[in-house]
Structure 1
Amino acid sequence: MEKYVELEKKFGGQFRETSMVDSDYKDKKVYWLEFAGAVCPICGHKSWCMINVSGTKVICMRVANNHKLSNNNGYLYLLGNKYKVSFDVKAIKPVLTYPRAQDSVLDFFYRSVLLGCPLKKNHRQDLYNRGLDDTMINIHNGRGFGSYYQLDPSVKDNGVKRLEPLFRQIDVSNNIVNNVWINLLDNMSKITHSNYYRHTLWHGVPGFFKFGLHAPRTSKNIPALLNLPIFSVPADGLLVPYYNELNELVAFQVRVDHVSASVTVSKTLPCGDLKVYFNSHTKQYTVNLKPEGAKVRTIASGIAKTDIIDLKYSNMPYQLKVEHGGKYFWVSSAKENGGARGKMPIQVAYNPDIASLDPTKVDKDGNLSERKIIQNYIKQPKSIWLTEGGLKAYIVSMYLPKRFKKEDLDLLGKDVLGVAGVNSYRNFLPMLKRLHVNTVTTAYDMDFQKNKQVKENYRSLISLLKENGYKIRIANWDGSKAKGIDDALVQQLEINFTNVN
């Protein structure tokens, strides 16, 4: 842990743990960390690249050298060796971030977000297509799915430039200010008779960050806005909720409507430099060639119908490759001034009976009776399912009681834990202990047998569970008909189980 703090201080930000081990260390496991706000000393970016925990090596994904990794996954740099990279810590502009807020605070703010970002018709249809019905979608009432859309800053509504949908309206010239969080936090201050909530309660809530506005000094509203937040999401899309063991809403992922894509030159020409322009929405590409000592010319254009595009110029072959971006992104503000940093959460997807309970609901006697039911349920020894993906875990938890008898679920598990990626399997362990789990049913995607990295992570998960004394069952189904356990349950495929000794 001290080494993590040292690295964060040196490189000016946070890292994300991975399950990859530096193979040069034979006597102990030295893991690789992904830059997640910290600055890569090679390319200066704050994501994608990696550093080992010892701080002696960097894998840069952008700046090439003569030490390209065999799996085409970056370039190796040795810090402190003959090809050391100079790095000036003073060049980093510090970004003020806050530690992750308490779960109860996250739940409060994310419920408020959903009031302004209700589930849209197109995203509801997407959930129908995944097998969910309205009862399943609304099982958490106002703490479930939502839809986020940014408005074009150039669009004006009644003369007011709208910069955030339902969250912020500002027209400095006319001193018009409307921020939904102003009213929310002001009400909290009145209830508690304290300005603490207005100025600091939002600190540490991922997605929220400090209000920033370049405006004339004559604007009287600006000083009052300096301690107020705004809320933002990386891209338009479906808000997927994540819950903790108390059934509190503690995180969102956004499933983007449009997956970004880029084109790289995988095989180039010997007669000059190639530059590709690509529109990820239309898939239109244009290739420009700059021969040495000559003007730039366009040598190809078209629509990318496949991920590999083979082309020729003057009978010389070259190749383009379409690389797709991610489909899911965490709602975060770790890179923003006044934003929040925190660890990747795990999805606790309870069975419908428990999922429908609201931990903040006050009964007629003034008690949090539903929260008490959840707390008692946590204390009971139980079996549980493990899979990857928050939305997948949610769907599985809704379908288990439809596919199995109660006595079967007592053995296999009624509830599901989901991690955001197969390399995050170590995150399961703390939650298994908190939920008093004694038996697990693993249900990773059936393509793990073809994917080497997924297969290795699956083996590591099984070993970790065995080391900690858990009884283990592995779920299997026809992978040619359904990749994931959610699709297998929705399609009513036969599920078989293998006990691990």
Structure 2
Amino acid sequence: MQTTLRRTKMEGWFEYYREICPICHKTGGCIRNEEGDLVGCIRVESKKVFSQSPLTYLHSLNEKQKKVTGQWVEKQVTKLDDQFLGLMYNGLIQNQLPLLKEHSEQLKLPNRGLMEHQIVTRGYRSITRSLVNQVISPTQLKGVPGFYENNGQWKLVNGIEGMLIPYRNVYNEIVGYQIRVDNPRPEISYIESNIPNLQMLLKKDNRTVLALLEGGEVIGEKQMNIGDEYIVEYNGQKTHIRLKKGNRYFWLSSAKRNLGCSPDGPVHIAIPSERLKKLEENPSEYRGAFRAKSVWITEGALKADIAADHISKAFTPEQIAKLGDTFVATAGVQSWASILPVLKELGAEQVNIAFDMDMLTNVYVKQAVTQLLAALKTENYLINYVVWNTKDGKGIDDLFLSSKRPQVRRIGN
């Protein structure tokens, strides 16, 4: 049986990992209790706040979900400290996996604009079903996301193929990877879900959707293209879905494997590759943490890397001295709370909020950004809100690539 829930750090609470939240009808981030009568939703507000990091609202269910059983839940192993992760990833992935030519060429395309020396410095790698067999571990790797134990051997997960994007901490240690998938599989998006215990599954042909009741009874089947919608009706209730483009980015995680581990969404620090190269060539001269009085906040490590290498196209050296050229990136806006301790490590005093421009139209993104702004104000940071015309690009990296300058607006103070 495929696991659908993931243990959290709170005893008796589980994340909707591959199962939809009954409140917001999305997967990931939201949690439920073991008994199945309470839900903590990160997207839909209620009168009661359950937790602040991330901001989560408590909802009571009129119809209880089934009690959690062990077979639904992924077994979790505690992740090791950053220094050990950095050593293991450098030895086992950076030194043993290549970057395929096709991935290198993708990074050089006009929409990313990275040059060969920048690509080499940043340490992107490729992962395929054949390449993972090249990774040989000299030691046990319990607590290293991406690795798991199999018959006495420690192996790198084999399945998703694509480009590995390193996530670096304030000490330039690689503490996790995201995989930019070569061929994303379409996903089912729930618009409305009212049929109890109904599963909507996509077959291997990536087009045929099955509607199954508990026990495996098929009550609906339809071939769909991206954007198509499908309504299943049963006993006077209905479930309404849409087939959408699949997620392009996944964490390198072994949480579903024996003694495997989740990366827990690390935060990435990106600086211009010229400075990064000097640091990597002379590590003894840069033993301390990165320091930056002014930083940019965005989402996605690759986006941050590109923005850091192209910010000079949009701003003068004098302007960069004031705004900074250090980027702090989370995997998504909803995980904004993980940024706060990193800002303290960097010694930041000013932040430039530069999430994608859908923060102006997507209600959940807008809500998360509002929460981040409130937290930053509480900590007395100087805050700049960065906006631009969406015709010039979706993300801050697109904007800098086209040599366009955004508007930087001071909030408060």
More contact order relative to length (CA 8 Å, sep ≥ 6)? 2
* C-alpha contact 1:40 1:49 (8 A) present in aligned 2: no
* C-alpha contact 1:261 1:280 (8 A) present in aligned 2: no
Cα offset, 1:330, TM superposition? 0.6
Partner of 2:181: 256
- Which of these residues, 345, 366, 371, is aligned with residue 460 of structure 1? 371
* C-alpha contact 1:233 1:254 (8 A) present in aligned 2: no
For residues 429-462 of structure 1, give each alpha carbon's deviation from its aligned partner in whole angstroms, at most 9, with x where no partner exists: 1011011111111111112111111111112111
Cα offset, 1:325, TM superposition? 3.0
Structure 1 residues 54 and 499, CA gap change in structure 2 (3 angstroms): farther
Please say if 1:114 is aligned against 2:107: no
Bigger drift between 318-327 and 341-350 goes to: 318-327
Partner of 1:373: 286
Cα offset, 1:463, TM superposition? 1.5
Matched letter for residue 106 of structure 1: L
For residues 85-110 of structure 1, give each alpha carbon's deviation from its aligned partner in whole angstroms, at most 9, with x where no partner exists: 44556x67884x53222223222222
Partner of 1:330: 251
Cα offset, 1:304, TM superposition? 2.4
Alignment of 1:389-400 (within 5 A): 389-400=300-311
CA distance in 2 between partners of 1:335 and 1:235 (Å): 13
CA distance in 1 between partners of 2:363 and 2:174 (Å): 34
Instruction: Count residues with an aligned counterpart.
Output: 367
Q: TM-score, normalised by structure 1?
A: 0.63
- Which of these residues, 108, 118, 125, is aligned with residue 136 of structure 1? 118
CA distance in 1 between partners of 2:241 and 2:402 (Å): 38
Matched letter for residue 7 of structure 2: Q
* C-alpha contact 2:5 2:15 (8 A) present in aligned 1: no
Q: Secondary structure at the match of 1:135?
A: helix
Q: Secondary structure at the match of 1:343?
A: coil
Q: Secondary structure at the match of 1:165?
A: helix
CA distance in 2 between partners of 1:336 and 1:297 (Å): 32
Matched letter for residue 416 of structure 1: F
Partner of 1:292: none
* C-alpha contact 1:265 1:274 (8 A) present in aligned 2: no
Matched letter for residue 270 of structure 2: A
Partner of 1:231: 156
Structure 1 residues 447 and 16, CA gap change in structure 2 (3 angstroms): farther
- Which of these residues, 351, 354, 374, is aligned with residue 272 of structure 2? 351
* C-alpha contact 2:128 2:162 (8 A) present in aligned 1: yes
Question: Unmatched 5+ residue regions in structure 2?
Answer: 42-58, 193-197, 212-217, 232-238
* C-alpha contact 1:441 1:473 (8 A) present in aligned 2: yes
Partner of 1:15: 8
Structure 1 residues 287 and 350, CA gap change in structure 2 (3 angstroms): closer
Cα offset, 1:323, TM superposition? 3.3
* C-alpha contact 1:357 1:374 (8 A) present in aligned 2: no
CA distance in 2 between partners of 1:455 and 1:320 (Å): 24
CA distance in 1 between partners of 2:392 and 2:32 (Å): 39
Alignment of 1:204-283 (within 5 A): 204-212=143-151, 226=152, 228-262=153-187, 283=207
Q: Secondary structure at the match of 1:348?
A: strand
* C-alpha contact 1:262 1:322 (8 A) present in aligned 2: yes
Partner of 1:485: 396
Q: Secondary structure at the match of 2:121?
A: coil
Identity of matched residues, %: 26
Structure 1 residues 15 and 286, CA gap change in structure 2 (3 angstroms): closer
Cα offset, 1:306, TM superposition? 4.1
- Which of these residues, 38, 43, 46, is aligned with residue 57 of structure 1? 38
Structure 1 residues 351 and 54, CA gap change in structure 2 (3 angstroms): farther
- Which of these residues, 90, 100, 113, is aligned with residue 79 of structure 2? 100
CA distance in 1 between partners of 2:283 and 2:174 (Å): 15
Structure 1 residues 77 and 327, CA gap change in structure 2 (3 angstroms): farther
Structure 1 residues 52 and 105, CA gap change in structure 2 (3 angstroms): same
Larger radius of gyration: 1
CA distance in 2 between partners of 1:388 and 1:107 (Å): 22
CA distance in 2 between partners of 1:300 and 1:471 (Å): 53
Question: Unmatched 5+ residue regions in structure 1?
Answer: 1-10, 18-31, 61-75, 152-162, 168-179, 186-197, 213-225, 268-272, 289-295, 311-317, 362-368
Q: Secondary structure at the match of 1:463?
A: helix
* C-alpha contact 2:14 2:34 (8 A) present in aligned 1: no
CA distance in 2 between partners of 1:86 and 1:478 (Å): 48
